[in-house]
Structure formats: structure tokens, C-alpha cells
Amino acid sequence: MGAIIALHSYKGGTGKTILSVNLAEILKERGKGVCLLDFDFRAPSLHVLFKVDSAKYWLNDFLEGKCSVQDFLIDASKHMTSPEGKLFVGLANPSSDAIRKMSAKSRRWEIRALGRLLSLRSPLFDDMKLDYLIIDTSPGLQYSSINAIVSSDVALVVATTEASDIDGTRRMIHELYELFDRRTEIVLNKVPIEMLTSEKKKRNFLKKFNNLYNIPTMGIIPCFCDVLAAGGTYIFAKEKPEHPFTEILNELTLKIESRFLPPIERLSDPELLRRYRETFLKKVTGIYMVDGESCQ
């Protein structure tokens, strides 16, 4: 039985897409079968990372009912390093005409699109034997984002410490997410390192955002200049597996896997047990620093 994970944010620029891609890469490296969908139809970007300029069918076409699952999915495993796992990507059409058409879709069309999205469970999880579907949503309250959240098993809200993002994320969680009745957790990204330089600062930081959002915090990711400099032009976790950013995402995948493994499987998985022990002994909270500073 597979799991659907939607990554969402109140506004753009939170690093949601970079997290989506790198989480997919790490899960694939752990031998999992993963499908990654670009649901940001107003500003598609995954086609750039995977170097796809044109395609016979896009994710848009599947939602329109013009093609099958096999028609629009691209086998991206060749972009990765581990032969064990699988990665398929479904790309949004980046053409201006396609973006305009998707922006003008009616509510009735979006309801039909939700049905098409929900129909992916069987071919992806039963037929293709994949483990995860990761949906990189459009920021804000677009119908496509709501469809992704409704269809998901867990929603990861990616937020920063910018004032308008904090306010918008708080309202979005309390006014909208409560209606969805979905497991929701927060990932705090691009956190200024000066907020995390002591244990006291870390505790105060976590307390502040726990009180603001009133949902579990899955992870805290400092702002790494080299991640920003990469500009999403390559898969960071693949190119720099020893980087603290990658190490943090490794811990996030541990948490994700633990959410969906039955208890008996958690106890019998030696890799999960090893990583749990390391996490406990090191008292890891999702923050990785070297000598009080983010590694670059």
C-alpha cells in the first residue's frame, strides 16, 4: 500500500520544489519506488531540472482525460545513482498557452480533475508497485493545490520565517486545513542560522512556531547559501550526499517512512532501527550545524 504526500506552501519562494525533488531522490536511493508530480500548473519548473523541453503528453493531458498514466509518466531513474529504486515524474506543460488554459479552468473541471488524480492510486501502487506519490503543489489556495491536499495521506506545509509567510501560513492552516481532516505537518525552511546557534534559541524558536501553527514540526532546515546558489539546476542530494542539507532530508525521509510503516515492520527494518538509535543518541531535532554554523 503506497502513500501520497503533498508539499504545499502559502506563498512561492519557500523552497517547496527543491524539497520535493530531493525527498524523491533520497527515497529512491533507499530503494523505494517514487512518482513525483509537478502540480504547479501556473509556474511549472520540474521540466527544467529533468531537462525535458517537449513531450507527447503532459500531466495536464492526463487530467483532461486525453491519455493514460503510462503515457505522461517519464522514467527518471536514469538521473539517479541507485539501481534499486525507481523514480517516475509527471511534468506540467510549461508553455504559455497551457499555463493560461489551466489558470482559466472552471470549478466543475477541477472536480473532474480531482477524480482523475484519485484514480492514480491503483495504477501507481497496485500495478507499478510504487511506494510513494509526491505532489509538488502550487502555492496558495489554487484549486489544483486543494485537489492535491484532499487526495493526499499527509500534507507537508513548507514555510519560512518571513513575516507575511508566517501570517498567511497560520491563517491557511487554521482556516483551511482543518476542513480537510488530513495529517498535516510543518517544515520550516531557510531558517536564518542566527536563530539556531544555541540550545536556548532552538527551544524558543520551536516553541514560537509550535504555538503559532499548532501542528507537529517535521523538520527545521537552516538557510544554506550553496543550496540557494544551486538554483534548482541539479538534484542537490545526489550531487552532495554528505552535505548537512542532505543529512537533514535523510532524517525527514526517516520520519516519513516511519509514518507509513506498520509497527511490526518498523521493528523489523534494521536500517530504520539503526537510524532511530542514531537520532536518539545524537538528540537530533532536524537541525544540523557544525560549530554553531550551517555547513557550506
Q: Is residue 293 part of a domain?
A: no
Q: Please, is 38 exposed, middle or buried when counting C-beta atoms within 10 Å of its C-beta (0-12, 13-18, 19+)?
A: buried
Residue in 206, 241, 209, 243 with CA at minimum distance from that of residue 226: 243
Over residues 77-89, the mean pLDDT reads 74
Q: Is residue 295 part of a domain?
A: no
Q: Is residue 8 part of a domain?
A: yes
Asked whether the beta carbons of 236 and 221 are under 8 A apart, the reply is no
Q: Which long-range contacts (CB under 8 A, 24 or more apart) does 121-125 make?
A: 121/2, 121/4, 123/69, 123/70, 124/2, 124/35, 124/69, 125/1, 125/2
Residue in 90, 87, 70, 69 with CA at minimum distance from that of residue 78: 87
Reduce the DSSP state of residue 292 to 3 states and report it: coil
> CA–CA separation, 57 vs 90, rounded Å?
9
Number of neighbours of residue 15 by Cβ within 10 angstroms: 22
247-261: pLDDT as tens digits: 999 999 999 888 775
Q: Is residue 18 part of a domain?
A: yes
**How many distinct structural domains can be found in the chain?**
1
Q: Is residue 291 part of a domain?
A: no
Asked whether the beta carbons of 213 and 173 are under 8 A apart, the reply is yes
The single-letter code of the amino acid at 1 is M
Asked whether the beta carbons of 16 and 7 are under 8 A apart, the reply is yes
> CA–CA separation, 292 vs 276, rounded Å?
24
Average pLDDT, the chain: 86
The pLDDT value given to residue 293: 38
Give this prediction's pTM: 0.86
At 146, which CATH number?
3.40.50.300
219: left (phi over 0), alpha (psi -120 to 50) or beta: beta
189-207: pLDDT as tens digits: 999 999 998 889 988 999 9
Q: Is residue 201 part of a domain?
A: yes
The 8-class DSSP code of residue 286 comes to S
46-70: pLDDT as tens digits: 999 999 989 999 999 999 999 999 9
Q: Which domain holds residue 194?
A: 3-282
Cα end-to-end distance, the chain, whole Å = 38
Q: Is residue 289 part of a domain?
A: no
Report angle CA 14, 16, 19 to the nearest 5 degrees. 125
> CA–CA separation, 137 vs 59, rounded Å?
13
22-40: pLDDT as tens digits: 999 999 999 999 999 999 9
Q: E strands of the chain, at which residues?
A: 3-8, 33-39, 73-75, 86-90, 132-137, 154-159, 183-191, 217-222
Q: Is residue 141 part of a domain?
A: yes
Query: What percentage of the chain reaches a pLDDT higher than 90?
Result: 69
Strands 73-75, 86-90: pairing is: antiparallel
The pLDDT value given to residue 258: 83
